[in-house]
Amino acid sequence: GNSVTQMEGPVTLSEEAFLTINCTYTATGYPSLFWYVQYPGEGLQLLLKATKADDKGSNKGFEATYRKETTSFHLEKGSVQVSDSAVYFCALRVYGGATNKLIFGTGTLLAVQP
Amino acid sequence: ETGVTQTPRHLVMGMTNKKSLKCEQHLGHNAMYWYKQSAKKPLELMFVYSLEERVENNSVPSRFSPECPNSSHLFLHLHTLQPEDSALYLCASSQAIGTPTVGDTQYFGPGTRLTVL
């Protein structure tokens, strides 16, 4: 079946530190991969996505590369800010079927300290 | 109002109450979704509507009853809930259900925090 595994949090970093949040997936077919972010008290927002192998998604200084050989889509940022504190969700979608639904990971809480 | 809005933001109800959650999208989208977000569990897709027709029901108990009267509004009617139904209920919309080249990015509302006593 299709599933997403991401590292458990919380991840606590100091401001300007390097961030990596690991995400691996299992999928039949050729999934599109996504990172969503949920700030406190808000809904999920799409952060970035990649639709095929070796694509790199990027937004707001965050990057993730679709690695088919390792079935991974790790999220990285070179220098985190306090405002990046949020829960980050990795997700996949395999196209086919009635709804092409998103499959989410459990989320990783990131806390950035000044 | 822009984006996806949900009301109420917080709801406390007893197990014998009947209540409804409301979602409204101002994006001109044709597909709408209900998700359940529980602590330490992945988001669970509950229902999907496309052009006001339900296209997915993910084995959700009948005490949750969705309604989509038009493409801009989605309701979740609740009755005789259980304490384990306490969670954050998220609504989302997308232009279509479609393929990567069609507008299938989902836009989420802020959620309704539901507590069942």
What pLDDT is attached to residue B2? 67
Q: Do A103 and B97 touch (CB under 8 A)?
A: no
Q: How close is the nearest chain A Cα to the Cα of B79, in Å? A: 24
Residues above pLDDT 70, as percent of chain B: 92
Kindly list the distances between the CA atom of residue A39 and the CA atoms of A83, A103, B110, in Å, as whole numbers in the listed order: 9, 20, 10
Over residues B38-67, mean pLDDT: 87
Tokens read off for A76:
């990285």
Residue B31 and residue B74: Cα distance in Å, rounded? 10
Which of A47-51, B49-53, B95-99 is predicted with the least confidence, judged by mean pLDDT?
Answer: B95-99
Question: Which one is predicted more confidently, A65 or B55?
Answer: A65
Over residues A83-111, mean pLDDT: 86
SS (H, E, C) A61-113: CEEEECECCCCECCEEECCCCHHHCEEEEEEEECCCCCCCCEEECCCEEEEEE
> Is A14 an 8 Å CB contact of chain B?
no
Q: Which of the four pLDDT bands, split at 50, 70 and 90, describes residue B95?
A: confident
Over residues B34-46, mean pLDDT: 89
User: Would you give the DSSP letter of residue B39?
Assistant: T
- Res. A60: pLDDT tops 60: yes
What pLDDT is attached to residue B19? 95
Residues of A in contact with B92 (CB under 8 A): 43-44
| Chain B interface mutation, best of A100, A103, A108, A109, highest count of B Cβ atoms under 10 Å | A100
Over residues B16-41, mean pLDDT: 92
Residues in chain A: 114
Question: Which one is predicted more confidently, B42 or A68?
Answer: A68
Find residue B107's DSSP bridge partners: B93
Strand pairing class (B31-37; A32-38): unpaired
Q: Do A43 and B43 touch (CB under 8 A)?
A: no
Q: Do B100 and A98 touch (CB under 8 A)?
A: no
What pLDDT is attached to residue B41? 84
Over residues B47-76, mean pLDDT: 90
Question: Which one is predicted more confidently, B109 or A99?
Answer: B109
Q: How close is the nearest chain A Cα to the Cα of B100, in Å? A: 7
Q: Which of the four pLDDT bands, split at 50, 70 and 90, describes residue B103?
A: low
CB A39 within 8 A of CB A66: no
CB A18 within 8 A of CB A76: yes
Over residues B77-93, mean pLDDT: 94
Please return the burial class of B35, using the count of CB atoms within 10 Å of its CB with bins 0-12, 13-18 and 19+: buried
pLDDT tens profile A14-51:
999 999 999 999 988 788 899 999 998 888 999 999 98
Q: Do B92 and A43 touch (CB under 8 A)?
A: yes
Q: Do B90 and A103 touch (CB under 8 A)?
A: no
